[in-house]
Structure formats: structure tokens, C-alpha cells
Amino acid sequence: MKTVLDFNNSFVIIFLAGTLLSFLIHHFLEFIDYRARIKNGGQLPQELASIPLAQETFDKEKLAKISEYENAKYFAWIPSAISSLLLDLGLVIFGFYPFIFNLVTSWVGFPQNFGNTWLVIALFLILASIPAEILSIPFSLYQEFHLEKKFGFSNMTFKLWLTDQIKGLILSGILGALLITVASFFFIKAPNNWWWILAAILIGFTFIMQIIYPKFIAPLFNKFEPLPEGPVKEKITQILDKCGFKNGGLFVMDASKRSGHSNAYFSGFGKSKRIVLYDTLVKSMTPDELAAVLGHELGHFKLHHITKRLFVMIPLEFLLLYVLYFFAQFPLLYQGFGFDMINAANINNAQFIGLFLSATLYGSLSELLSPLRNISSRKQEYQADAYAAKVCGGGQNLISGLIKLNSENLSELLPPKLYVFWNFSHPTLIERIHALNKLK
């Protein structure tokens, strides 16, 4: 097959360099993490040796299982990552996307009006996404039905997995159609201003989804039962009252029908705020530990972490859309990736292709931004831990809860510092325990 890329094009050079560099960085980090497990995986870290619960929880069998699980994920990830890289490069180098665009426009016509543009964008995005979706299926099935079942996590049946996929596809289609409709209109009616209009719409859409998701979408996949009366609800209610936190209800989610992993989360905002506990979490922790874990999540709200993220996210959303719009104005971008049919004369009618290509460029470089995102996130996690210790009368219940969470999810105990710096949005268990103990 003939290549269509212009390898001297600056945009193409950025894409290839960013894609390959991100791939190499990711593989290097995963490899040093694997080597660290080979060296230290069977040992209880010194920082945990003085904690009776940690000694009891992380026996030799559990430490070996953690390493085995992390190694199994690593060896499953390697072919998946290599296949994704080859597919991403192959689709671009051999002109799959220009081919799809030409095919769609031969059916519908070059984008000229609202209805015409909507159909072109919808067909292009659907056809362009098919190769990656097909490639992901065998790796997803292997992950779910071999790896996760081998380590006692997955309770998924193939029927349930297939049902989830169909529901997700339908929801994605509905939401995608809505966004494409809005975007198509502004691509045609406001070719020089669509970037800030779309940014505002996407931000508004995010807020609306915070209201819609917990009440209408999440129940399509899981059952949510009110937390029953008893010691757990009593303890959690005490913490909520102490923090002055108003919510739309305490719920237990039947997470165990799919997985043995444990978690808890908040969803919604305002009166729609919900506190959701996985049933696996409720079964494994004492009321005091649950209250402490919940106190951590409350800390994010009371310390205004969500608001602070919004103050950062909203300007960045506008900036990102402007940058994508800016690059979408360059005929050189289209020509470099084989879209020779798009030129200065008709570029306004095909800016969605420029947006697609600009987003592809951004995706090739996004791995390089991971440390910046994670530094701020880890700082806020420490602050939320400190808040939980404050409202719960000390950090011991949170420490024991974190130990149980780490053990049940088979999370590794001693990842390399560079790996943590680059990839972790949360501090490690040892770092969190050390920080909590310093609060004394």
C-alpha cells in the first residue's frame, strides 16, 4: 500500500516524534517498574513492617500474588501497546483517514451545509473508529475473562459483558449524535468562532452530565440501594454532619456482580450529590474505616479541590480548543496527512478534519504532560488525607482502610519513584501512611 504522509511536513514530524517518544517513555517506565517488582516484590517494605495490620495482611503469599498480578497485567499490556502503536501509525501513514473522507464525500458530497456536514462528520467518525474498536476487543476479553478471573476479581459473564458493550454503544451514539449536531451547526454558521462556542458547550455538557449520570445513566449498568440502617450508616452520618455536608443520598452499588475490586465515589453536584459505596468495600471494612475513607472524599469537597480544578480546567478547555482551531487553519496540516482535496479555498467547510488532525497531534504529545497533571493531584490527595484524619480524630482508621484497599486490589507497594512521579495521580500507600503519621 502506498504511503500518503509527507515526511518533511512539520506537523507530520511532530506527530511521529510525539507518538514514538510517548511509546518509548511508557515502555521504559513499565519496564523499570517490572524490574523493581522482581527485586523487591516479595518483601514487606520497612515502612509497613512496624504496623501489625500490614504484617498480617501482606504475608508472603499476598506479596507474591501482588507481584504476579502486576506482572500479568504488564505482560498483557505489552502486545496491546505495540498493536495500538502499529495501528495508529499504519492508519496515518497509509492514508486510512483521507480514504474514509473521500469515500464519505463521494456518497454525501463535500461538506457545504448543516445537514450535509452533520452526515459527513458522523459517517467519518464512525468509520474512522472501527479499526481501533476491533483491535481492542480481543485484549478486553483476555483482560476480563482470563487475567481478572485468574486473580479472583472478575465475576463478569459473557452475556453481561456483551450487554454492557451494547448499552455503551447506544449511549455513545446518542450523546455523540447530539454533540455532532451542535458542532456541525457552528462549523458552518461560525467558521471563525466555533472554538470558543464548542468549549463553552463542552463545559456545560460536563456539568449537565454530573446531574444526569447518577440518576439516569449509572442505573442502566448497576443497582443502587440506599445504605441500610446500622453501624455503617450511623458512623458515616456522624461524619457527614460533622463536616456539614449535604447530599442526595447514601447508596451501595452492586459492583461485585462484575468485579471484586473495591472503591467509593461521589457523583453529581448541588442537591444531586450522591455518595456511592461499592458493596465489596462495605463488606471488607469496619464502620470506622469506611467513615475515614469517606472523610478523605469529603476533604476534596470541603477543601474546594473540585472548584479549584474547574478554575484550571475551564480556561484550559478554551485554550486547547483555540490551539486546535488555530492549527486547523493551516492547509499544510491537511496536506501533510494526505488530505490533498482540502485547500485554502475550501478549508472552512472541512475544519472538523483540521480539528480531528489537531487532536491527533495533541494525543501524540499528551503522555508528556502526565507529570504536570499528577503533581497537583497528589498534593490534593495528601490534603484530603489530612482532612480525614482531622474529622475522624486521627489517621489510624484511614491507614487501616488504605491497607485493606491496597491489599484487596493487589496494588504494588514499592513502585519506583520515577514511575510514581510520571504515572500516579495518588501517592503510594507508604507515602500516604508516612504523611498521616507525621500529623501526630
Q: Reduce the DSSP state of residue 182 to 3 states and report it.
A: helix
Question: Residue 300: which residues within 8 A CB-CB, separation 6 or more?
Answer: 266, 306, 380, 384
15, 97 Cβ separation under 8 angstroms: no
Mean pLDDT across 141-159: 93
The Cα 398–Cα 159 span in angstroms is: 38
The Cα 227–Cα 23 span in angstroms is: 44
Q: Within a 10 A sphere around the Cβ of 44, how many other Cβ atoms?
A: 19
354, 329 Cβ separation under 8 angstroms: yes
pLDDT digits (tens, 9 = 90+) for 79-88: 999 999 999 9
Cell numbers that stand for 416 in this block: 519506583
**Which residues are known to be catalytic?**
297, 385
Predicted local distance difference test score (pLDDT) of residue 50: 86
What is the SS3 string spanning 269-302?
CHHHCEEEEEHHHHHHCCHHHHHHHHHHHHHHHH
- The H-or-E segment that residue 216 falls in is none
Predicted local distance difference test score (pLDDT) of residue 223: 92
Strand order, beta sheet including 264-267: 224-226, 250-253, 274-278, 264-267
Predicted local distance difference test score (pLDDT) of residue 61: 92
Residue 43, pLDDT > 70, answer yes
Buried b (16+ CB within 10 A) or exposed e, 259-281: bbbbebebbbeeebbbbbbbbbb
Predicted local distance difference test score (pLDDT) of residue 333: 94
Predicted local distance difference test score (pLDDT) of residue 272: 65
Predicted local distance difference test score (pLDDT) of residue 244: 78
pLDDT digits (tens, 9 = 90+) for 165-206: 999 999 999 999 999 999 999 999 999 999 999 999 999 998
Cell numbers that stand for 322 in this block: 483555540
Predicted local distance difference test score (pLDDT) of residue 335: 93
Question: Residue 312: which residues within 8 A CB-CB, separation 6 or more?
Answer: none
Residue 37, pLDDT > 60, answer yes
Mean pLDDT across 92-114: 93
338, 5 Cβ separation under 8 angstroms: yes
- Position 300 confidence tier, pLDDT thresholds 50, 70, 90: confident
Q: Which of 342, 339, 237 is nearest to 298 (CA)?
A: 237
The mean-pLDDT minimum among 262-276, 320-334, 382-396 falls in 262-276
Residue 42, pLDDT > 90, answer no
Predicted local distance difference test score (pLDDT) of residue 5: 81
Amino acid present at 251: F
Mean pLDDT across 299-311: 86
Could you tell me how far CA 169 lies from the centroid of its own chain?
A: 18
Q: Within a 10 A sphere around the Cβ of 28, how many other Cβ atoms?
A: 13
Residue 143, pLDDT > 70, answer yes
Predicted local distance difference test score (pLDDT) of residue 141: 95
Mean pLDDT across 357-384: 90
In the block, residue with C-alpha cell 483540521: 354
Mean pLDDT across 146-163: 92
Predicted local distance difference test score (pLDDT) of residue 3: 64
In the block, residue with C-alpha cell 491497607: 403
Q: Residue 438 half-sphere exposure, CB side, CA atoms within 13 Å?
A: 11
Predicted local distance difference test score (pLDDT) of residue 41: 78
Average pLDDT, the chain: 90
Predicted local distance difference test score (pLDDT) of residue 440: 64
Predicted local distance difference test score (pLDDT) of residue 320: 93
Cell numbers that stand for 274 in this block: 450522591
The Cα 247–Cα 403 span in angstroms is: 28
Buried b (16+ CB within 10 A) or exposed e, 186-197: bbbeeeeebbeb
Residue 49, pLDDT > 90, answer no
Predicted local distance difference test score (pLDDT) of residue 174: 93
Cell numbers that stand for 328 in this block: 486547523
Predicted local distance difference test score (pLDDT) of residue 140: 95
Q: Residue 163 half-sphere exposure, CB side, CA atoms within 13 Å?
A: 9
Top-confidence residue, 385 or 241:
385
Predicted local distance difference test score (pLDDT) of residue 370: 86
Mean pLDDT across 91-98: 94
